[in-house]
Amino acid sequence: MSSQMSITIEPNLDNLELITASVEEIGEKENWAPDLTFKINLVLDELTTNIVKYGGLVSEIEISLCSEDEVVTVEIIDNGRSFDPLTDAPEPDIDAPLGERRIGGLGVYFVRSMMDDLQYRREQGKNHLVITKRRAE
């Protein structure tokens, strides 16, 4: 079975609820494990929040999701400032004592660790981030 959804939102944190509801709807339709729905929602919340807070003058955020038998693929497109989470976000020192750690940077770290693959490209003035997660672990 395969399902797709696309949503375009204004860069406003109030719109995160629309994303969550859409992911939960497709997860229920596709019979995802609750853990998969949680991880996809958490990652989309983190990435979308980062775009809204740090992307600059973003006019809209496009999210496309495709759920197939083996994998879920999500693409996030925004016209904010260029940011490649694979190379621009420093690796946090999670082994350092809490008082010595830099503030921030853990969100992208969690995205990288929870998803199976991330690919970034900058094309026609837009950030394109494609994330994939296997349905079975």
Q: What is the pLDDT of residue 1?
A: 66
pLDDT < 70 stretches in the chain: 1, 88-107, 137
Cβ burial of 65 (10 Å; 0-12, 13-18, 19+) is buried
Cα separation, 43 vs 25, whole angstroms: 16
Neighbours of 52 (CB within 10 A): 20
Q: What is the pLDDT of residue 137?
A: 67
Q: Which of 91, 94, 80 is nearest to 49 (CA)?
A: 80
Dmax (CA) for the chain in angstroms is 48
> What's the whole-model pTM score?
0.86
